[in-house]
Structure 1
Amino acid sequence: MVRTALGLLALSALGLRGATDPVGAAQAPGRFRVDNAVVDGNATLYAGSRVETDRASSRLRLGAGRVEMAPASRVRVAEKGIILEQGSTDVTGMEAVASWLRIAPEAGSTAKITLAAPNVLVAAAKGPVRVFHRSGDLIAFVEAGAALSLTPSAQQSDTASLTGCVTKVEGRYLLKDVNTNVTVELRGGNLDQFVGRRIEMTGAVFRTAQPAPGATQVIRVTDAKAVSGECGAQPAAGQPAQQPPAQPKAPRVEGRPSGISGTTVAVIVAGGAGGAGAALAASRGSKSR
């Protein structure tokens, strides 16, 4: 029942037209299934169609979007994207839903998505990828070549746990989380002591407050402590906040897991020739610390 409700929500978000309106086509070098019917080579797809691969990969064309399905994967087709129900897929030029997440590659970017229950692994190739909770909150900005392991929750959480450098711009405190690259505004007492320092913090999401320019939401800090790590110079008044330094890139889960909207996030960044795809493969055997 949970899966059915989730599928209906996803189809509603991505758009669903009548079953008689074709939205694209599927092509594969071998056999695959469309709505439980075995297909050889090619098939026309409709909003609501379910495509399932076996031993061969499959390519879907949905308008200007492209989907590359790995073997042993299953997706459901919508008017504006796909819902990944099993396995792995690469998505270009359209959005995808996986579990309680909406994944949106920017123009020219490809999102590599793998379901590894209870986690959703997201990597960005050729450009950045934004990840939203179904509630609409931006929970991660995945840069090209990076990968994240996300453990989403159906419930919209009112708490956040973040790590990053604190800057002060025009009297307002900002923090860019080192794992998700999401910038939030911090409120609370005694924040001046953390300006220019890296902190680990937890707080309550202040949803009715208007965040500072460049921030996605306001977090009222309930607990914070300084941790090791360099931060850039504090910007002058009227100047944009300097971004925290890039984190080391290595094919392993690293850093303190963080999260917004009930989604736990850990970095699985891969550098060198392996790229983000190698990071996703390696992460299947990794655990967040």
Structure 2
Amino acid sequence: MRTLLILVTFLFVFSSFSAQRTLYVDSFNAILGNQEKENELLTFVKNNEFKAIILYELHIIAKRIDMSNPKTNTILAKFINLAKKQYEVQEVIASAENKSFFINHISAYNKSRLKSSEKFDGLNLEYEFWQNSASNYGGYYCENYLRKNEIPCTREGSFKNFIATLSIMKLLSKESDHPIKIEAYVGNYNKTEVDEISKYVDRILVSAYEKNTEESFKSIKKALTILSQTTFKPNVSVIFSSEVEFMSGYFKYNSLEKSELEFLSLSKNYNFKLGKFIYYKYFELKNSVKYYNFTSK
């Protein structure tokens, strides 16, 4: 009886939780404008109950079209509208790594469109301030964002730039006439850092990149403990990777529902708001799910 009660409780939690599933869409530049590929992506999204998508490669698309011009950005507006109106997507989120792109392209795009169904609903910051490329001269972050702005190429300097970007994103959200959520991917952090991040974001995305759910949970137990101690108690989303070196093989033999339920059962004793599960990324996950669906018939 006790086992049945626990199972029913988890299923109840899971039923509300699965509706918050999110997908990173890689190679979006190759998809946008190709009706067959757009429909294939959005059919996968709907069939697997993803209610939000995070779009990569917007910086490439910004080279194709003027995202601030309603005459040239119609191709993007049509896709976002299609996702929301016909494929039950609730949130379309723009991912970028610097404040100027959010200002000059993403925010400018939203301001150019009149319909809410054509607008971005979230801003996703992917800037890995903890990486060596920020603290080493010649590193990507050091050379592209820090040195030229007279910011020290250190973890502290990189974190300062990270927070400055989040503060701009938060400001853009407040100024928008369309509701905008702010989120940040964080792979490595301490309590002081995550307390500061939590002031600006609606949710924090934490990677759990291992080969199965049990190892994924073990890999981020420390990170979840830190999050449970934060002052602002942010919403937390766990990222599973469908890349070959991580959970690609696991997802060939386990459904997304089972994976999420297993992780929930492992994390139930932690004091944080568990938000959406996020899957990185579309093309590799599609192959794994296709294999699972074929073998499980």
- TM above 0.5, yes or no, is no
- Which has a greater percent of strand? 1
TM-score interval (norm. to shorter)? under 0.3
- Which has a greater percent of helix? 2
Q: Which has the larger radius of gyration?
A: 1
